[in-house]
Amino acid sequence: MIYDDYLFYKKYPILFVNSRIKSDVFLIGKYMEYHITDSLRCIRAFSSLDCYNDMLFGDRKIKKNRISYYHHYVISLLTNLGLIIDGQNILEESIGGKIYDFNIEKGARNTIIHIFEKTKKYYGMGLNVNGFNVIEEDRDFKFRDIKTPLGTLDLIDKKFITYGDQRKNKDEESLKSYIIDLLKIEKDLENYNIEIQRFNEYVGNYFKATNV
């Protein structure tokens, strides 16, 4: 399998002319690298307003505008994470092994990604769900008491909390709170980025060799 050759390459960086590597593997690897890098950009945007653009979001001194900024990056992060999971599953099928063992529960991103569908579903169950909130300072701690948040970004404890389910679930008992530990996921993504870059180097070298 390609994966076995790649593991050997990691130990001894010898260029293989592997006819089993197809261009789709090259493209998937490059897109994976992009979405991992973009996920890291999103997480770092939570830690600093250095990349805040007043032209896009308005005066940063107004909290409503800052919430729009954070909401934008939450949606981008969750979308990227879903694409990373899908991409790594397809890549694993193609090469016969995992580049990095990365995972996140679907329920942790489904509510925000499918917000219209989920809002209608939860209100149909008689649930009083709360919208997107951001905890920036001590006086925002009241948002931690919300039991059914569509999404709460806690910038102090570095986590994202959401309330929801997986698509296949049909009843209220299947709903639960999900927590994404932003510090942990940032570390995982940094490690994943190292591995996917190394893999892309291996695959890129193959295409350079075969195109000479």
Let me know if residue 205 belongs to a domain.
yes
Q: How confident is the model at residue 212 (pLDDT cuts 50, 70, 90)?
A: very low
Query: Could you tell me which residue, 8 or 161, shows the higher pLDDT?
Result: 161
pLDDT of 13-30, one tens digit each? 776 666 678 889 999 999
Let me know if residue 11 belongs to a domain.
no
Let me know if residue 15 belongs to a domain.
no
Q: What was the pLDDT predicted at 90?
A: 96
Let me know if residue 157 belongs to a domain.
yes
Handedness of CA 175, 179, 185, 188 (dihedral sign): negative
In the chain, alpha helices (H): 2-11, 23-47, 54-57, 63-95, 107-113, 115-124, 182-210
pLDDT of 116-150, one tens digit each? 988 888 888 888 888 899 999 999 999 999 888 88
Let me know if residue 139 belongs to a domain.
yes
Tokens found for residue 60? 């940063």
Q: How confident is the model at residue 200 (pLDDT cuts 50, 70, 90)?
A: very high
Q: How far is CA 49 from CA 53, 65, 66, in A?
A: 9, 12, 9
Q: What is the mean pLDDT of residues 173-187?
A: 91
Domain range spanning residue 40?
Answer: 2-6+23-210
Q: In whole numbers, what is the pLDDT of the chain averaged over residues?
A: 89
Let me know if residue 77 belongs to a domain.
yes
User: Which has the minimum average pLDDT: 67-81, 88-102, 121-135, 152-166?
Assistant: 121-135
Handedness of CA 134, 140, 144, 146 (dihedral sign): negative
Phi, psi values for residue 177, rounded to 5°: -85, 140
Structural domain count, the chain: 1
Let me know if residue 18 belongs to a domain.
no
Let me know if residue 17 belongs to a domain.
no
